[in-house]
Amino acid sequence: MFVSRRMRRKKQGVVEGEGAWARILLLVALAPVICSAGILDPWQWARSDRIEVNIPWLPFENETRCYDELGCLNITRSWYHLIHRPLNVFPLPREVINTRFILYTKENPTEGQVLIVAKDKSIKRSYFSPKRKTKFIIHGFIDTPLSNWVKEMRNELLKHDDYNVIIVDWAGGSLPLYTQATANTRLVGLEIAHLIKHLQNNYGLDTNDVHLIGHSLGAHTAGYAGEKLNGNIGRITGLDPAEPYFQGMPSHLRLDYTDAKLVDVIHTDGKSIFLLGLPGYGMSQPCGHLDFYPNNGKEQPGCTDLSETTPSLPLTLIREGLEEASRVLVACNHVRAIKLFIESINSRCQYVAHECSNYASFLRGECFSCKSNNSLSCGVMGYHADSSPAVVRRQAMGQDVLSLVGSKFFFTTGKDDPYCRRHYRITINLARPPTAESWVQGFMKVTFHAENGIIRDVDLTPRICLNKLD
Protein backbone atom coordinates (compact mmCIF):
# COMPACT_ATOMS: atom_id res chain seq x y z
CA MET A 1 0.00 0.00 0.00
CA PHE A 2 1.44 3.36 -1.04
CA VAL A 3 0.97 6.43 1.13
CA SER A 4 1.41 9.89 -0.28
CA ARG A 5 4.21 12.07 1.07
CA ARG A 6 1.69 14.55 2.44
CA MET A 7 -0.18 11.77 4.27
CA ARG A 8 3.05 10.40 5.71
CA ARG A 9 3.97 13.83 7.04
CA LYS A 10 0.54 14.25 8.56
CA LYS A 11 0.79 10.90 10.32
CA GLN A 12 4.28 11.70 11.53
CA GLY A 13 3.05 15.02 12.95
CA VAL A 14 0.32 13.25 14.92
CA VAL A 15 2.86 10.85 16.44
CA GLU A 16 5.19 13.69 17.39
CA GLY A 17 2.30 15.61 18.95
CA GLU A 18 1.23 12.61 21.00
CA GLY A 19 4.82 12.13 22.15
CA ALA A 20 5.03 15.76 23.26
CA TRP A 21 1.80 15.51 25.28
CA ALA A 22 2.92 12.23 26.81
CA ARG A 23 6.17 13.82 27.95
CA ILE A 24 4.34 16.80 29.43
CA LEU A 25 1.96 14.50 31.35
CA LEU A 26 4.91 12.45 32.61
CA LEU A 27 6.66 15.63 33.75
CA VAL A 28 3.54 16.74 35.64
CA ALA A 29 3.38 13.36 37.35
CA LEU A 30 7.03 13.60 38.36
CA ALA A 31 6.84 17.25 39.45
CA PRO A 32 6.62 16.49 43.21
CA VAL A 33 9.63 14.20 42.95
CA ILE A 34 11.62 16.74 40.95
CA CYS A 35 10.82 19.45 43.49
CA SER A 36 11.94 17.20 46.33
CA ALA A 37 15.29 16.86 44.59
CA GLY A 38 15.78 20.60 44.89
CA ILE A 39 15.81 21.26 41.15
CA LEU A 40 12.49 23.08 41.06
CA ASP A 41 11.74 24.36 44.54
CA PRO A 42 8.71 26.68 44.44
CA TRP A 43 9.22 27.66 48.07
CA GLN A 44 12.57 29.15 47.07
CA TRP A 45 10.94 31.17 44.31
CA ALA A 46 8.69 33.02 46.73
CA ARG A 47 11.28 33.94 49.35
CA SER A 48 10.73 37.50 50.51
CA ASP A 49 14.30 38.51 49.70
CA ARG A 50 13.76 37.43 46.09
CA ILE A 51 10.77 39.73 45.57
CA GLU A 52 12.19 43.14 44.83
CA VAL A 53 11.11 45.91 42.49
CA ASN A 54 13.96 45.94 39.99
CA ILE A 55 11.98 47.23 37.02
CA PRO A 56 12.93 50.67 35.65
CA TRP A 57 10.22 53.22 36.30
CA LEU A 58 9.57 53.84 32.61
CA PRO A 59 10.30 51.50 29.69
CA PHE A 60 13.03 52.78 27.38
CA GLU A 61 14.16 55.34 29.94
CA ASN A 62 17.88 55.02 30.59
CA GLU A 63 18.64 53.99 34.14
CA THR A 64 21.91 53.01 35.83
CA ARG A 65 22.70 51.20 39.06
CA CYS A 66 26.14 50.73 40.56
CA TYR A 67 27.47 47.82 42.60
CA ASP A 68 30.39 48.96 44.72
CA GLU A 69 33.77 47.99 43.27
CA LEU A 70 32.19 45.88 40.52
CA GLY A 71 31.06 48.86 38.48
CA CYS A 72 27.72 49.93 37.07
CA LEU A 73 24.98 48.40 34.92
CA ASN A 74 22.45 50.25 32.84
CA ILE A 75 19.24 49.47 31.01
CA THR A 76 18.81 51.45 27.81
CA ARG A 77 16.52 51.29 24.81
CA SER A 78 18.80 48.69 23.17
CA TRP A 79 17.86 46.17 25.87
CA TYR A 80 14.21 46.07 24.77
CA HIS A 81 12.53 44.15 21.97
CA LEU A 82 8.80 43.66 21.60
CA ILE A 83 9.17 39.90 20.96
CA HIS A 84 12.65 38.83 22.05
CA ARG A 85 13.04 40.89 25.25
CA PRO A 86 9.88 42.76 26.27
CA LEU A 87 10.81 43.16 29.95
CA ASN A 88 14.05 44.08 31.69
CA VAL A 89 14.91 44.21 35.36
CA PHE A 90 18.04 44.90 37.37
CA PRO A 91 19.93 42.15 39.19
CA LEU A 92 19.09 41.19 42.75
CA PRO A 93 21.43 42.53 45.47
CA ARG A 94 24.88 40.98 45.70
CA GLU A 95 24.14 39.46 49.10
CA VAL A 96 21.08 37.67 47.72
CA ILE A 97 22.81 36.17 44.68
CA ASN A 98 25.81 35.44 46.91
CA THR A 99 28.21 34.49 44.12
CA ARG A 100 30.91 32.12 45.34
CA PHE A 101 34.09 30.84 43.70
CA ILE A 102 35.15 27.32 44.66
CA LEU A 103 38.66 26.21 43.70
CA TYR A 104 39.71 22.63 42.91
CA THR A 105 43.20 21.50 41.94
CA LYS A 106 45.11 18.23 41.88
CA GLU A 107 46.05 18.98 45.51
CA ASN A 108 42.37 19.24 46.50
CA PRO A 109 40.38 17.42 43.81
CA THR A 110 37.28 16.83 45.94
CA GLU A 111 37.40 19.37 48.79
CA GLY A 112 36.86 22.82 47.33
CA GLN A 113 38.39 26.03 48.67
CA VAL A 114 36.26 29.18 48.59
CA LEU A 115 38.09 32.19 47.11
CA ILE A 116 36.93 35.57 48.42
CA VAL A 117 38.36 38.73 46.88
CA ALA A 118 37.53 40.79 49.98
CA LYS A 119 39.39 38.25 52.13
CA ASP A 120 42.71 37.92 50.37
CA LYS A 121 43.94 35.34 52.89
CA SER A 122 41.44 32.89 51.41
CA ILE A 123 43.39 33.08 48.16
CA LYS A 124 46.86 33.11 49.72
CA ARG A 125 46.08 30.01 51.76
CA SER A 126 44.54 28.17 48.82
CA TYR A 127 46.18 25.95 46.22
CA PHE A 128 45.66 28.54 43.49
CA SER A 129 48.73 28.95 41.29
CA PRO A 130 49.14 31.47 38.45
CA LYS A 131 51.51 28.99 36.79
CA ARG A 132 48.54 26.78 35.98
CA LYS A 133 45.88 27.46 33.38
CA THR A 134 42.56 28.38 34.95
CA LYS A 135 39.17 26.93 34.01
CA PHE A 136 35.88 28.42 35.20
CA ILE A 137 32.70 26.30 35.18
CA ILE A 138 29.48 28.36 35.19
CA HIS A 139 26.10 26.65 35.63
CA GLY A 140 22.83 27.90 34.18
CA PHE A 141 19.17 28.44 35.02
CA ILE A 142 17.66 26.36 37.88
CA ASP A 143 21.05 24.79 38.45
CA THR A 144 23.65 24.59 41.22
CA PRO A 145 27.34 23.71 41.61
CA LEU A 146 26.20 20.45 43.21
CA SER A 147 24.85 19.15 39.90
CA ASN A 148 26.35 15.89 38.71
CA TRP A 149 27.58 17.40 35.44
CA VAL A 150 29.57 20.09 37.27
CA LYS A 151 31.39 17.47 39.33
CA GLU A 152 31.97 15.29 36.28
CA MET A 153 33.41 18.16 34.24
CA ARG A 154 35.64 19.18 37.15
CA ASN A 155 36.98 15.65 37.49
CA GLU A 156 37.61 15.26 33.75
CA LEU A 157 39.49 18.57 33.61
CA LEU A 158 41.73 17.63 36.53
CA LYS A 159 42.28 14.23 34.96
CA HIS A 160 43.39 15.90 31.74
CA ASP A 161 45.96 18.28 33.22
CA ASP A 162 47.06 20.28 36.25
CA TYR A 163 44.57 23.15 36.26
CA ASN A 164 43.00 25.65 38.59
CA VAL A 165 39.33 24.66 38.23
CA ILE A 166 37.04 27.32 39.68
CA ILE A 167 33.32 26.56 39.96
CA VAL A 168 31.08 29.62 39.94
CA ASP A 169 28.20 29.21 42.38
CA TRP A 170 25.39 31.66 41.67
CA ALA A 171 22.53 29.42 42.79
CA GLY A 172 21.10 32.33 44.78
CA GLY A 173 20.33 34.06 41.50
CA SER A 174 19.62 31.18 39.11
CA LEU A 175 16.13 30.29 40.34
CA PRO A 176 12.89 31.48 38.69
CA LEU A 177 11.57 33.79 37.60
CA TYR A 178 13.53 33.54 34.35
CA THR A 179 13.45 37.28 33.65
CA GLN A 180 15.12 37.93 37.00
CA ALA A 181 17.67 35.16 36.47
CA THR A 182 18.72 36.65 33.13
CA ALA A 183 19.29 39.99 34.85
CA ASN A 184 21.31 38.33 37.61
CA THR A 185 23.78 36.94 35.06
CA ARG A 186 24.99 40.48 34.41
CA LEU A 187 26.02 40.93 38.05
CA VAL A 188 27.58 37.46 38.20
CA GLY A 189 29.60 38.35 35.11
CA LEU A 190 30.94 41.42 36.93
CA GLU A 191 31.83 39.24 39.94
CA ILE A 192 33.81 36.86 37.71
CA ALA A 193 35.62 39.72 35.99
CA HIS A 194 36.44 41.25 39.38
CA LEU A 195 38.03 38.01 40.60
CA ILE A 196 40.04 37.58 37.39
CA LYS A 197 41.29 41.17 37.59
CA HIS A 198 42.27 40.67 41.24
CA LEU A 199 44.19 37.49 40.43
CA GLN A 200 45.88 39.24 37.52
CA ASN A 201 46.94 42.32 39.50
CA ASN A 202 47.94 40.59 42.74
CA TYR A 203 49.00 37.07 41.77
CA GLY A 204 50.28 37.35 38.22
CA LEU A 205 47.47 35.47 36.49
CA ASP A 206 47.85 35.55 32.71
CA THR A 207 44.40 36.23 31.26
CA ASN A 208 45.42 34.32 28.12
CA ASP A 209 45.34 31.21 30.31
CA VAL A 210 41.75 31.82 31.44
CA HIS A 211 38.99 29.65 29.95
CA LEU A 212 35.34 30.26 30.88
CA ILE A 213 32.94 27.34 30.29
CA GLY A 214 29.26 28.17 30.68
CA HIS A 215 26.01 26.32 30.04
CA SER A 216 22.73 28.00 29.06
CA LEU A 217 22.53 31.27 31.03
CA GLY A 218 26.06 30.49 32.21
CA ALA A 219 27.30 30.98 28.65
CA HIS A 220 25.97 34.54 28.55
CA THR A 221 27.36 35.09 32.05
CA ALA A 222 30.78 34.22 30.65
CA GLY A 223 30.15 36.70 27.86
CA TYR A 224 29.42 39.51 30.32
CA ALA A 225 32.64 38.72 32.20
CA GLY A 226 34.62 38.73 28.97
CA GLU A 227 33.06 42.01 27.87
CA LYS A 228 33.97 43.62 31.20
CA LEU A 229 37.58 42.54 30.58
CA ASN A 230 37.48 43.97 27.04
CA GLY A 231 37.74 40.53 25.47
CA ASN A 232 41.23 39.99 26.86
CA ILE A 233 40.71 36.46 28.14
CA GLY A 234 41.94 33.44 26.27
CA ARG A 235 38.76 31.52 25.60
CA ILE A 236 35.05 31.17 26.26
CA THR A 237 33.11 27.97 25.55
CA GLY A 238 29.35 28.37 25.33
CA LEU A 239 27.39 25.17 25.90
CA ASP A 240 24.02 25.72 24.21
CA PRO A 241 23.64 29.39 25.21
CA ALA A 242 20.11 30.21 26.32
CA GLU A 243 17.76 31.49 23.61
CA PRO A 244 14.94 33.34 25.45
CA TYR A 245 15.84 37.02 25.94
CA PHE A 246 19.08 36.64 23.95
CA GLN A 247 18.41 35.36 20.43
CA GLY A 248 18.05 38.18 17.93
CA MET A 249 19.32 40.80 20.37
CA PRO A 250 22.38 43.09 19.97
CA SER A 251 25.76 41.55 20.68
CA HIS A 252 26.35 43.45 23.94
CA LEU A 253 23.34 41.68 25.49
CA ARG A 254 24.60 38.14 24.89
CA LEU A 255 27.62 35.95 24.31
CA ASP A 256 29.55 37.27 21.32
CA TYR A 257 32.84 36.57 19.55
CA THR A 258 34.31 39.84 20.89
CA ASP A 259 34.12 38.57 24.48
CA ALA A 260 37.33 36.49 24.26
CA LYS A 261 40.19 35.79 21.90
CA LEU A 262 38.50 32.51 21.00
CA VAL A 263 34.80 31.84 21.48
CA ASP A 264 33.57 28.35 20.60
CA VAL A 265 29.91 27.42 20.91
CA ILE A 266 28.01 24.11 20.84
CA HIS A 267 24.37 24.36 19.73
CA THR A 268 22.19 21.35 20.58
CA ASP A 269 18.67 22.68 21.28
CA GLY A 270 18.08 25.34 18.66
CA LYS A 271 14.37 24.84 17.95
CA SER A 272 12.58 28.16 18.29
CA ILE A 273 11.02 28.85 21.68
CA PHE A 274 7.97 30.13 19.80
CA LEU A 275 7.17 26.79 18.14
CA LEU A 276 4.26 24.68 19.34
CA GLY A 277 4.99 21.41 21.11
CA LEU A 278 8.30 21.14 22.95
CA PRO A 279 10.35 24.27 22.20
CA GLY A 280 14.11 24.59 22.28
CA TYR A 281 15.94 26.42 25.04
CA GLY A 282 19.17 27.17 23.17
CA MET A 283 20.25 29.72 20.58
CA SER A 284 20.49 28.74 16.95
CA GLN A 285 22.21 31.85 15.60
CA PRO A 286 26.03 31.81 15.40
CA CYS A 287 27.62 33.86 18.16
CA GLY A 288 31.26 32.76 18.32
CA HIS A 289 34.33 32.22 16.17
CA LEU A 290 33.52 28.51 15.98
CA ASP A 291 29.85 27.51 16.07
CA PHE A 292 29.24 23.75 16.15
CA TYR A 293 25.90 22.16 15.26
CA PRO A 294 25.82 18.45 16.15
CA ASN A 295 23.00 16.73 14.25
CA ASN A 296 21.97 20.16 12.90
CA GLY A 297 21.89 21.64 16.40
CA LYS A 298 18.14 21.32 16.98
CA GLU A 299 17.20 17.80 18.07
CA GLN A 300 19.64 15.20 19.31
CA PRO A 301 19.50 11.41 18.79
CA GLY A 302 17.86 9.76 21.77
CA CYS A 303 16.02 12.96 22.72
CA THR A 304 13.56 13.43 19.89
CA ASP A 305 10.87 11.01 21.07
CA LEU A 306 9.48 10.01 24.45
CA SER A 307 9.81 6.37 23.41
CA GLU A 308 13.58 6.91 23.11
CA THR A 309 14.06 8.96 26.27
CA THR A 310 11.82 7.14 28.75
CA PRO A 311 13.44 3.65 28.58
CA SER A 312 16.80 5.11 29.58
CA LEU A 313 15.41 7.01 32.58
CA PRO A 314 15.61 4.08 35.06
CA LEU A 315 19.25 3.48 34.15
CA THR A 316 20.02 7.19 34.42
CA LEU A 317 18.22 7.26 37.76
CA ILE A 318 20.38 4.42 39.09
CA ARG A 319 23.69 5.65 37.67
CA GLU A 320 23.37 9.42 38.09
CA GLY A 321 20.49 10.01 40.49
CA LEU A 322 17.09 11.65 40.41
CA GLU A 323 18.41 15.08 39.51
CA GLU A 324 20.05 13.95 36.28
CA ALA A 325 17.06 11.78 35.31
CA SER A 326 14.78 14.79 35.75
CA ARG A 327 17.14 16.96 33.74
CA VAL A 328 17.18 14.50 30.84
CA LEU A 329 13.39 14.31 30.87
CA VAL A 330 12.87 18.08 30.88
CA ALA A 331 15.77 19.29 28.71
CA CYS A 332 17.47 16.36 27.02
CA ASN A 333 18.58 18.35 23.96
CA HIS A 334 19.70 21.31 26.07
CA VAL A 335 21.99 19.26 28.33
CA ARG A 336 23.45 17.25 25.45
CA ALA A 337 25.96 20.06 24.84
CA ILE A 338 27.31 19.44 28.34
CA LYS A 339 27.63 15.70 27.75
CA LEU A 340 29.40 16.17 24.42
CA PHE A 341 31.89 18.63 25.91
CA ILE A 342 32.67 16.44 28.92
CA GLU A 343 33.21 13.40 26.72
CA SER A 344 35.54 15.37 24.45
CA ILE A 345 38.01 16.25 27.22
CA ASN A 346 39.76 12.89 27.51
CA SER A 347 38.26 10.87 24.67
CA ARG A 348 40.52 9.36 22.02
CA CYS A 349 37.78 10.02 19.48
CA GLN A 350 37.74 13.58 18.16
CA TYR A 351 34.51 15.29 17.18
CA VAL A 352 35.57 16.46 13.71
CA ALA A 353 33.07 18.95 12.29
CA HIS A 354 32.95 20.38 8.79
CA GLU A 355 32.18 23.94 7.78
CA CYS A 356 29.14 23.99 5.53
CA SER A 357 26.35 26.33 4.49
CA ASN A 358 23.66 23.98 5.83
CA TYR A 359 23.14 20.51 7.29
CA ALA A 360 21.62 19.02 4.15
CA SER A 361 24.74 19.88 2.14
CA PHE A 362 26.89 18.32 4.84
CA LEU A 363 24.90 15.07 4.73
CA ARG A 364 25.33 14.97 0.95
CA GLY A 365 29.10 15.04 1.46
CA GLU A 366 29.56 18.43 -0.18
CA CYS A 367 31.67 19.88 2.67
CA PHE A 368 34.04 17.08 3.58
CA SER A 369 37.51 18.46 2.96
CA CYS A 370 39.96 19.72 5.57
CA LYS A 371 42.71 20.45 3.06
CA SER A 372 44.44 23.80 3.29
CA ASN A 373 43.73 24.63 -0.35
CA ASN A 374 40.00 24.23 0.16
CA SER A 375 37.82 27.27 0.77
CA LEU A 376 35.97 25.42 3.54
CA SER A 377 37.60 24.15 6.71
CA CYS A 378 36.98 21.80 9.60
CA GLY A 379 37.01 22.14 13.34
CA VAL A 380 37.26 19.96 16.43
CA MET A 381 34.23 20.37 18.67
CA GLY A 382 34.54 20.45 22.42
CA TYR A 383 37.46 20.85 24.76
CA HIS A 384 40.06 20.72 21.96
CA ALA A 385 38.37 23.32 19.75
CA ASP A 386 41.42 25.56 20.05
CA SER A 387 43.41 22.94 18.11
CA SER A 388 40.94 22.95 15.21
CA PRO A 389 42.59 23.04 11.76
CA ALA A 390 40.49 26.12 11.01
CA VAL A 391 42.16 27.90 13.96
CA VAL A 392 45.69 26.48 13.77
CA ARG A 393 45.97 27.16 10.04
CA ARG A 394 45.09 30.82 10.46
CA GLN A 395 47.43 31.24 13.42
CA ALA A 396 50.29 29.69 11.43
CA MET A 397 49.68 32.23 8.67
CA GLY A 398 49.65 35.11 11.15
CA GLN A 399 45.92 35.66 10.71
CA ASP A 400 43.27 36.08 13.37
CA VAL A 401 40.13 33.99 13.62
CA LEU A 402 37.71 36.79 12.77
CA SER A 403 37.23 35.33 9.30
CA LEU A 404 35.52 32.34 10.94
CA VAL A 405 32.74 34.44 12.47
CA GLY A 406 29.35 33.41 11.13
CA SER A 407 30.54 30.00 9.93
CA LYS A 408 28.68 26.84 10.90
CA PHE A 409 30.37 23.48 11.57
CA PHE A 410 28.27 20.31 11.30
CA PHE A 411 28.78 16.72 12.44
CA THR A 412 26.75 13.76 13.65
CA THR A 413 26.78 11.84 16.93
CA GLY A 414 25.34 8.69 18.45
CA LYS A 415 22.27 8.67 20.66
CA ASP A 416 24.04 7.59 23.86
CA ASP A 417 27.43 7.51 25.54
CA PRO A 418 29.93 7.37 23.89
CA TYR A 419 28.51 9.91 21.46
CA CYS A 420 31.55 10.43 19.24
CA ARG A 421 31.33 9.05 15.71
CA ARG A 422 33.70 9.12 12.76
CA HIS A 423 32.55 10.34 9.37
CA TYR A 424 33.15 8.47 6.14
CA ARG A 425 32.33 9.61 2.64
CA ILE A 426 31.96 6.99 -0.06
CA THR A 427 31.85 8.05 -3.69
CA ILE A 428 30.69 5.48 -6.24
CA ASN A 429 30.60 6.28 -9.94
CA LEU A 430 28.05 4.19 -11.85
CA ALA A 431 28.40 3.55 -15.55
CA ARG A 432 25.55 4.39 -17.86
CA PRO A 433 25.55 2.27 -20.99
CA PRO A 434 23.72 3.73 -23.99
CA THR A 435 21.13 0.97 -23.72
CA ALA A 436 20.41 1.56 -19.99
CA GLU A 437 16.93 2.37 -18.81
CA SER A 438 16.16 5.86 -17.52
CA TRP A 439 15.81 4.53 -13.98
CA VAL A 440 17.25 1.74 -11.86
CA GLN A 441 16.14 0.30 -8.54
CA GLY A 442 18.19 -1.56 -5.93
CA PHE A 443 19.95 -1.56 -2.59
CA MET A 444 23.51 -0.82 -1.57
CA LYS A 445 25.27 -1.87 1.64
CA VAL A 446 28.85 -1.34 2.77
CA THR A 447 31.00 -3.20 5.31
CA PHE A 448 33.88 -1.29 6.98
CA HIS A 449 37.03 -3.13 8.10
CA ALA A 450 38.96 -1.05 10.67
CA GLU A 451 41.66 -1.61 13.29
CA ASN A 452 39.20 -1.95 16.15
CA GLY A 453 36.66 -4.15 14.41
CA ILE A 454 34.20 -4.49 11.57
CA ILE A 455 31.07 -2.46 10.86
CA ARG A 456 28.82 -4.68 8.80
CA ASP A 457 26.07 -3.99 6.31
CA VAL A 458 25.72 -0.23 6.55
CA ASP A 459 22.71 0.57 4.38
CA LEU A 460 23.51 3.47 2.06
CA THR A 461 20.29 3.29 0.08
CA PRO A 462 18.40 6.04 1.98
CA ARG A 463 21.39 8.37 1.71
CA ILE A 464 22.06 8.17 -2.02
CA CYS A 465 20.01 8.60 -5.14
CA LEU A 466 19.74 5.34 -7.05
CA ASN A 467 16.51 6.01 -8.88
CA LYS A 468 18.03 8.53 -11.29
CA LEU A 469 21.05 8.37 -13.53
CA ASP A 470 20.89 11.99 -14.67
- In DSSP terms, 266 is beta-bridged to 239, 292
Neighbours of 309 (CB within 10 A): 19
Marked catalytic residue, from 147, 216, 284, 377: 216
- In DSSP terms, 296 is beta-bridged to none
Q: Tally the residues of the chain.
A: 470
3-state SS assignment for residue 455: strand
- Rounded CA separation 249/253 (Å): 7
Q: Is 240 one of the annotated active-site residues of the chain?
A: yes
Please, are residues 169 and 354 in contact by the beta-carbon 8 Å criterion?
A: no
- In DSSP terms, 291 is beta-bridged to 265, 408
- Pairing state between β 290-294 and 408-411: parallel
DSSP-derived secondary structure letter, 155: H
Marked catalytic residue, from 240, 264, 269, 386: 240
Q: Is 169 one of the annotated active-site residues of the chain?
A: no
- Rounded CA separation 264/256 (Å): 10
Nearest alpha carbon to residue 123 among 169, 164, 70: 164
Nearest alpha carbon to residue 219 among 157, 265, 274: 265
3-state SS assignment for residue 165: strand
Marked catalytic residue, from 334, 344, 377, 386: 334
- Pairing state between β 262-266 and 235-239: parallel
Rg (CA), the chain: 24
183 phi and psi, to 5 degrees?
A: -65, -40
332 Cβ contact list (under 8 Å, min separation 6): 300, 302, 303, 309
Annotated binding-site residue? 259: yes
Q: Is the dihedral of CA 124, 231, 73, 94 positive or negative?
A: negative
Q: Is 216 one of the annotated active-site residues of the chain?
A: yes
3-state SS assignment for residue 409: strand
- Detail the residues annotated as belonging to a binding site for Ca(2+): 254, 256, 259
Q: Which residues are catalytic?
A: 216, 240, 334
- Detail the residues annotated as belonging to a binding site: 254, 256, 259
